[in-house]
Amino acid sequence: MTMPEIIYEEMPTRWILKEFLDKNGITAYALAKETGIALNNIYNVCDPQTIPRKKNLDKIILGLRELTSKKVDISDLLVWEESDA
């Protein structure tokens, strides 16, 4: 049995995989097929509060590099949001 992805509720970063996929015309299905990650897991990590485990993160980045022919890295998928406090 695999461990679920980690959900962070109070963090100043925002996971933007879904935005990246939309911006680059990539479907969750295409990413699942390229990475070998189950489609349900890809849908789960499209949630801005869910960051994949390192093993899946590596597969996602490598898959996005293949699908976009760009040098995708973590900074394309994770943004820091300053708080006003």
Residue 55's CATH number: 1.10.260.40
Domain of 70 in residue numbering reads as 10-80
Alpha-carbon span 52 to 57, nearest angstrom:
6
pLDDT tens digit at each of 85 positions of the chain: 566 665 555 657 788 999 999 999 999 999 999 999 999 999 999 998 888 899 999 999 999 999 999 999 999 998 887 666 5
The whole-model pTM stands at 0.80
* Count: domains in the chain: 1
Provide the 3-class DSSP secondary structure of residue 74. Answer: helix
In a domain, 1, yes or no: no
In this predicted structure, what is the pLDDT of residue 23? 97
C-alpha separations of 47 from 51, 70, 75 in Å: 8, 23, 17
Q: Does 5 map to a domain?
A: no
Residue 72 lies in a domain: yes
Residue 52 lies in a domain: yes
